Amino acid sequence: MTTNRRSLFTSLTTERLHVINTPRVTSNGAAVSPLNGQAVSNDSSGSLLQYLRDSRPQRRLRPSPCPSQISRFTVAIEKESRGYILEVFDGHFVLPNLGPIGANGLANPRDFLTPVAWFEDRELGRDSNGKGKYTIIGKFQGELFKAQQEHSPFDVVAWHGNYAPYKYDLANFMVINAVQYDHADPSIFTVLTCPSTKPGVAIADFVIFPPRWSVQEHTFRPPYYHRNCMSEFMGLIKGNYEAKEEGFLPGGASLHSMMTPHGPDAQCFEDATKAKLVPVRVADNTQDLETSLLLKILVVLVLYLKGKTVLKNARMDCMLNSSQEQLLQAFMFESSLSMMVTKWGEEVCQKLDKNYYKCWMNLKKHFDATRRIED
């Protein structure tokens, strides 16, 4: 199993973000045991995950569904794969509290699917050094370890309990949005959340920005200029993000640390303030049911605490050739914790956009204190 992974960001005590580059992943005698935390990952390369085996069932995964809650697993991918990974080391990902929305909306429980049972009785024997030919790669305390055994770990014939593997197709997400005026909070796009011990505060939210209608009246429709008490890490699989149509490339990412001002670029502002407020479709070029990429969510055991904090604002286009034809949608990892950019993310990858701030340089002042708004 050949996998190259680089950390982009490390946060205070309970989470870490990675970029993953997998030139070749084989399932002949290798498995991974992610004993370190829960992980959410996005495949941004156009490669399709053919099979995913864990120590319970085997699942064939088509584009768009996301598998979750995996113990030991192995994958078989058609070609090179790249993506984003968020790890949390405290709590578990759960469905958000719907509040006044009621029983149905956002990611509905009925759309989370569990697989049929599968196992393999496979003996590989020992090598010339007397070690088993099946390699188990485990993660503990932020480090990778390996162990070797003679047989496949996917030999669990029966088990019971309610901590089951599942997958979810993001195309089933039920969008809730403002239909009269103003903006609803982006939390309405939350697929899964990892709550903290403080009510209403999340260690991490996994948020998507799916195709939808924009119909608000008397409203600046793009995401407005703001500061946030949360850190916002955004990624783009394909297409254009509605608040920054130029320079934010598929496979890239942006980090706006807590209380860092940000919002639409100058061109987006000019276009939105002059546009007629008729119903329009938003993000239609960021999702396709037949060609959307696989999003993988791996939910595992919580064991590890580590972290540093530094306030940093950065943007990277680190991962994807923009010619890829397969797509999913823009997403965001949002956290109440501060994150720092690692040396690899800031220097080694050589993809840091040091001119990011220039997208706001042409914003013009429109405020006039002498102007009176007529009733």
- Which residues have a catalytic role annotated? 183
From CA 35, how far away is CA 20, in angstroms rounded? Answer: 18
CA separation for the pair 300, 271 (Å, rounded): 45
CB distance 222 to 186 below 8 Å: no
- 226: annotated binding-site residue? yes
Radius of gyration of the chain (CA): 22
**CB within 8 Å of 174: residues ≥ 6 apart:** 104, 105, 106, 107, 108
Alpha-carbon span 359 to 77, nearest angstrom: 37
Tell me if 241 is assigned to a ligand binding site. Answer: yes
Cα–Cα dist 171/180, whole Å? 25
CA angle 303, 305, 310 (to 5 degrees): 155
| Closest of 282, 215, 213 to residue 245, by C-alpha | 282
Question: Which 3 state secondary structure label does DSSP give 358?
Answer: helix
Residues 274 and 259: their CA atoms lie apart, in Å, by: 29
Task: Could you list the beta-strand ranges (E) of 25-89.
Answer: 30-34, 38-43, 49-54, 58-60, 65-68, 73-77, 81-88
CA dist 35 and 3 (Å) reads: 17
Compute the distance between CA of residue 40 and CA of residue 296 in angstroms, rounded to an integer.
Answer: 7
- Cβ atoms within 10 A of the Cβ of 299, count? 24
The answer to whether the annotation marks 181 as part of a ligand binding site is no
Q: Which of 12, 9, 18, 164 shows the shortest CA–CA distance to 90? A: 12
Look-up: residue for tokens 């699942």?
A: 59
| DSSP assignment string, 288-320 | -TTTBPPEEEE---------------EEE--S-
Instruction: Summarize the annotated binding site for homogentisate as residue ranges.
Output: 241, 262
Instruction: Summarize the annotated binding site for Fe cation as residue ranges.
Output: 226, 232, 262
Instruction: Summarize the annotated binding site as residue ranges.
Output: 226, 232, 241, 262
